[in-house]
Amino acid sequence: MSGLYLSALVLFLLFSVMFGMFGVGGGAVYTPIQLFIGASFNEAATVSLFLIAATSISSGIVYVRARLVDWVVVGPIAFFSLVGSVVGGWSAGIVPEPVLLGLFSFFLLINGLHLAFSDIRERCYEAPFIGRRLCFERTVAGERVVVDLPLAIPIALLSGAFGGMVGLGGGIVMLPLMVVVLRFPVKAAIATSSFLAFATGIGGFVSRLSHTAVPWKFMLASALLVSLGSLVGARWTVQSQSKRIRRLLGLFFVGVAMLLFIRGN
């Protein structure tokens, strides 16, 4: 394995700690690193989706043990996110990559600034046009989680489709929307996002295998390292204060938006 590939493995390990902290797969970084070492976009996106699944399931185990995961909430959202990712992976290439990345960068920038600098409160019962019977309430690790189905299902579908299309886990799309739009408590949102990213990562990866060759040795070595890194990051999140996590999460999304903007130019 060349020096460039070894450097990529080290970077994967370091970044996976941060991705484990925030319950996102990391495709926004995994893909550009592979492009830098000479991989084609389709190859990089496919490997990235596999690493997203590895990162997410590893951190997800920590969140399950900390009782931050409610399967009644995760199940339906993950299912629709998976369906969207399969469609997105199958239709990869239809929409020009610069257009997708430009829109996604703007989306992350706006939501990141909102997370970092605004106060966010639950919204479901305060929105009279949505109707209470279309929401259901759960308690996760002592915090109230209100799931607004008319918003959650289409958001999950579109997030998964976008993630599968460009090799970004749907969790990185869904997470800011869960906090900003669906008003999930930040730790519950991060824990839920881990399993959404896993679902979209696996769905997009499998649907891409039919038209993309992957370097299995490099991919499996990378998956082992990102699994270890994400375990460390997830443990930090479980032990930290929610407000601090939300601020850092917002700044993280702003940073990813700037990275994608630079990549697109």
Question: CA 106, CA 111: separation in Å to the nearest integer?
Answer: 9
pLDDT in tens, 53-75: 888 889 889 988 888 888 888 88
Asked if 191 and 23 touch (Cβ cutoff 8 Å), the reply is yes
pLDDT in tens, 23-38: 776 766 787 788 778 8
Asked if 46 and 218 touch (Cβ cutoff 8 Å), the reply is no
Question: CA 225, CA 9: separation in Å to the nearest integer?
Answer: 7
Question: CA 138, CA 169: separation in Å to the nearest integer?
Answer: 25
DSSP 146: E
pLDDT in tens, 125-180: 444 444 455 677 777 767 777 777 778 888 888 887 877 776 666 667 777 778 77
pTM above 0.85? no
- Give the residue ranges of DSSP H helices in the chain: 3-22, 27-36, 41-65, 71-90, 97-117, 149-166, 170-180, 186-208, 216-239, 242-264
186, 212, 247 from 240: Cα distances, Å: 11, 40, 12
Of residues 112, 97, 243, the one with CA closest to residue 180: 112
